[in-house]
Structure 1
Amino acid sequence: MITDTTFDITKTTESRIDQVDFDELGFGRVFSDHMLEVEFADGQWNQPRIKPYGAIEVPPSLHVFHYGQSVFEGAKAYYVDDETINLFRIEKNYERMARSCERVCMPFVDRDTFLDGIAALIKVDSRWVPRKEGDVLYIRPFISAFDRVIAANPSETYRFYVITSPVGAYYSKSVKLTTSQKFIRAAKGGVGDAKFAGNYAGSFYPARKAQEKGYDQVLWLDAFEHKYLEEVGTMNIFVVIDGTLVTPELGGTILPGVTRDSVIQLARKWDIPVEERRITIDEVIDAGKSGVLEEAFGAGTAAVIAPIEEIHHNGTSVTPGATERGPVGQRLYDTIYDIQRSRTEDPFDWVRPIDVSK
C-alpha cells in the first residue's frame, strides 16, 4: 500500500500537460510533471521523494561526470482505462538493475522502493499516460554517483531517480543493419550484460558511421573472432531460419532483455522451435542467399518487435523473406501488445496493474 508517509509527495502547482501535443510526441523529448528521487548517503538510502520534474543543481566535480558510474533501465506504462494503468514485467527491470549496480560497485534501492515508487509516480502522473493507440509512457529509472570530489574510486553518495516521458513509436519502419569488423560492443569479463551508461556511449561512434552508410544500427559481433552474432544497438536480435527461431545465447556480453525473454517464453508456449545458441553471421548470410532466412527482427522495450529488412556484412547484403513483420514477429508483437494492455490472456502473470482511480 502506497502512503504519503512512505513517499514524501510534493505536487506541482501548475501542470505542463496542456502544453503537450500528444499527436506529435516523438521519443524521449517530453517529460511528465513529477519525478522520484532517493538519496544515498552515510551508507543508507533516505526517504523517497516525489517532486516536480526539474533541473538538478550539481558542481563540475560531480563524480559521475568524470568516472561514468551510472546505470539505468527502461520500462513502459500502458493505458488500459481511466482506472487502470499497466506495468509489464517491471520486476525483471528491478532484478537487472540490481545486477548492473553490483557490477559497477553501486548500492541499489530495495525492491519495494523501486516497484512501489514507480507505481506511486504513475498514480501522480496518470494523465500523462497516452490514450492514443500505440503510444505509451516511457519510464526511465537511473542511478548516478554524486560525490563532489575527483577521485578514481567508487562514490560514497548516490542518487536514484525515475523520470517518465509520453512517447510514440521508437522505430516507424523496418531497420537496416550492418556489422562492424573494426569495433566491438563488449567482451567477456566486461560490462556487456549490464545496463551501464558507458556501454551506450561507446557505441555511438560506430552507429554514426553505420548511419552515414545508410544503415540504422550496428549488428554487433563477438569481440574475439568477429563472427558470432551478439545484439543490436538498442535491442536483442532474432532470426527465423527454416522454421526455427534463433537468438544468440547469453554469455556475459549480451544484455538479458526483458522483451527477449518474453519472446522466448511465448514462442515455446506456441511450440515454435527455439534455439538459444551461438550463431555466425555467415550462417545468417548463407540462409539469406538460400532463401531460408524467413524473418529477422529486434526485440526490446523501446522497439518491442522491430522488423529487419536488410543485414549487411563485408560487402554482402541479404534480405529476409519478410521485410515487414512476418508471421512469427507479428504474432509476437500482437500478443505482447495485447497482454500489456489487458486485452488478452496473461498466461505468465507479467502484468502489474496500477489502480489510478483514487
Structure 2
Amino acid sequence: MEEIQIHISETLKDKPDEQHLGFGQHFTDHMFLLDYTSGQGWHDPRIVPYAPLVLDPATLVLHYGQAVFEGLKAYRTEGDKILLFRPEKNMERLNRSNERLGIPNIDGDFIIHAIQTLIGVDQDWIPSGEGTSLYIRPFIIATEACLGVRASHTYKLIVILSPVGAYYSEGIQPVKINVESSYARAVRGGLGTAKAAGNYAASIKAQIEAKEEGYSQVLWLDAIEKKYIEEVGSMNIFFKIDGKVITPELNGSILSGVTRDSIIHLLKSWDVSVEERQISMEEIYQASCDNTLEEAFGTGTAAVISPVGELFWMKNKMIINEGQIGAISQRLYDTITGIQNGILPDTFDWTLEV
C-alpha cells in the first residue's frame, strides 16, 4: 500500500466541553480516505480536513444501500497513553461484512495503521474525563454513479473520529427495553451477521415506537417464530439465570460483537458458567416469575455494559434485580473499562498503544 499522504487543515475547530459531549455529535478536524477502483484495488490513502462528501445523485450507495461500517474507541490513560481495544477484531468483522455485501476486502493491518496515524494527527481531541473516549467510525460506501442493482466498481473507505461521553446520557443505569413482537430485523442468510447500514434502517421504526412508550431500546426476536431472543438494536444481550450466564448463540442472524466476545472470555476466566444457546422469551418470562432471573445486560462498543432493569413483552412487565445494577454487570463494566483505560492489567493482551 502507498504511503499515507497527510494534509493538515488550515482552520481548526473549537473543541467541545468535555462535560457535555453526548455521543456522536462532535467530529475532529481530519478524516482518513481510501479509494477502491476495479482493476486497481485500494489506493490513494490520505488524511484530509474533515469536510462534506461530494456524491453524484446516481451514486449506488444512495439507491441500493451497499454500505458497511465499524465502531471502536481510543482511550486516554492516566499516564497519557492512547489505547485501542482489540482493533484487529473490528477489522476481521469489517471484512466479514464486506464479503456479505460484495465489497472488496481491506487490509486490516493497514487500516489499523491508518487509524493510528489519524488519531496521532487529532490526538488533542481525545477527552480525558471519566467515561469519555474517542469514538472511531470506519465505513465503506459504494461510490459508482449507476442505477443498476449490482456491486459497485468503485468504493470509498472513510474513517471519522468523534469525542464522546457516555452512550446513555443517564450513565450506567439500568435501561428499560421493549421486546419486539411485530417487526422483523434479520433472518439467517440475510444481513444480520454483517454490520451493514440496512440492518439499522430495518430497526428504526420499532425503536421509534418503543421510545414513544418510554423504552430505551428494542429486543429483537427471531423473524420466523417470533419466539427466540436475538439481540438488542445496538447490543448483544446476556441473562443471568439461577447463577448461570446465558447469551444467544451466533446463529447466522445476529452480530458477533467484540464486547460480547470479551465478556465471555472474562466470565470464563472468573469460573462463571456461560452458555451460548437458543433462548426463548418464554424461558425468560418463566425465570422472572420464578425469581431466578437475576440480571440482564447488553454489551457493545458504544455502551460497553448496559444493565437491563425492565423488559416488556406481550403486556408483561418484568422488573429485573429490582431495577438495580447487578453484581456481575458492575464487575464486568469495571473490568472492561479498567482494561480499556489502562487502570487494570491487560492480561488478555487486548489493548494496542497508538
TM-score, length basis structure 1: 0.95
| Alignment correspondent of 1:21 | 17
Cα separation, 2, equivalents of 1:72 and 1:234: 13
Question: Does the alignment pair 1:33 with 2:51?
Answer: no
| Alignment correspondent of 2:146 | 149
Cα separation, 2, equivalents of 1:31 and 1:193: 28
| Alignment correspondent of 1:207 | 207
| Alignment correspondent of 1:267 | 267
| Alignment correspondent of 2:250 | 250
| Alignment correspondent of 1:58 | 55
Give secondary structure in 1 for the equivalent of 2:202.
helix
TM-score, length basis structure 2: 0.96
Question: Does the alignment pair 1:139 with 2:136?
Answer: yes
| Alignment correspondent of 1:314 | 314
Unpaired segments ≥5 residues, structure 1: none
Cα separation, 1, equivalents of 2:322 and 2:42: 50
Identity %: 48
Question: Does the alignment pair 1:112 with 2:109?
Answer: yes
Question: Does the alignment pair 1:90 with 2:83?
Answer: no
CA gap of 1:211–1:83, structure 2 versus 1, over 3 A, is closer
Question: Does the alignment pair 1:159 with 2:156?
Answer: yes
Q: Given that residues 35 and 42 in structure 2 are in contact (C-alpha distance below 8 angstroms), is that contact kept between their aligned partners in structure 1?
A: yes
Shift of 1:14: 2.4
Over the residues paired in the alignment, what is the CA RMSD in angstroms? 1.3
Cα separation, 2, equivalents of 1:254 and 1:149: 31
Shift of 1:19: 4.3
The counterpart of 2:38, out of the listed 42, 67, 73, is 42
Q: Given that residues 295 and 323 in structure 1 are in contact (C-alpha distance below 8 angstroms), is that contact kept between their aligned partners in structure 2?
A: no
Q: Given that residues 101 and 107 in structure 1 are in contact (C-alpha distance below 8 angstroms), is that contact kept between their aligned partners in structure 2?
A: yes
Give secondary structure in 2 for the equivalent of 1:66.
helix
| Alignment correspondent of 2:332 | 332
Give secondary structure in 1 for the equivalent of 2:73.
strand
Shift of 1:22: 2.0
* Cα deviation 1:81-110 (Å, max 9, x = unaligned): 565200001000000000000100001321
Q: Given that residues 85 and 352 in structure 2 are in contact (C-alpha distance below 8 angstroms), is that contact kept between their aligned partners in structure 1?
A: yes
Cα separation, 2, equivalents of 1:296 and 1:82: 34
Question: Does the alignment pair 1:302 with 2:298?
Answer: no
Q: Given that residues 249 and 276 in structure 2 are in contact (C-alpha distance below 8 angstroms), is that contact kept between their aligned partners in structure 1?
A: yes
Q: How many residues align?
A: 350
Amino acid at match of 2:131: G
Cα separation, 2, equivalents of 1:85 and 1:181: 43
Cα separation, 2, equivalents of 1:304 and 1:112: 24
4+ long deviations beyond 4 Å = none
Q: Given that residues 48 and 113 in structure 1 are in contact (C-alpha distance below 8 angstroms), is that contact kept between their aligned partners in structure 2?
A: no
Cα separation, 2, equivalents of 1:351 and 1:280: 35
Give secondary structure in 1 for the equivalent of 2:298.
strand
Give secondary structure in 1 for the equivalent of 2:47.
strand
| Alignment correspondent of 1:284 | 284
Amino acid at match of 1:129: I
CA gap of 1:344–1:19, structure 2 versus 1, over 3 A, is closer
* Cα deviation 1:191-212 (Å, max 9, x = unaligned): 1010010000010001111111
Q: Given that residues 294 and 322 in structure 1 are in contact (C-alpha distance below 8 angstroms), is that contact kept between their aligned partners in structure 2?
A: no
Cα separation, 1, equivalents of 2:165 and 2:324: 19
Unpaired segments ≥5 residues, structure 2: none
Give secondary structure in 2 for the equivalent of 1:48.
strand
| Alignment correspondent of 2:216 | 216
Amino acid at match of 2:7: T
Give secondary structure in 1 for the equivalent of 2:321.
coil
Cα separation, 2, equivalents of 1:89 and 1:271: 23
Cα separation, 1, equivalents of 2:319 and 2:285: 9
Shift of 1:113: 2.0
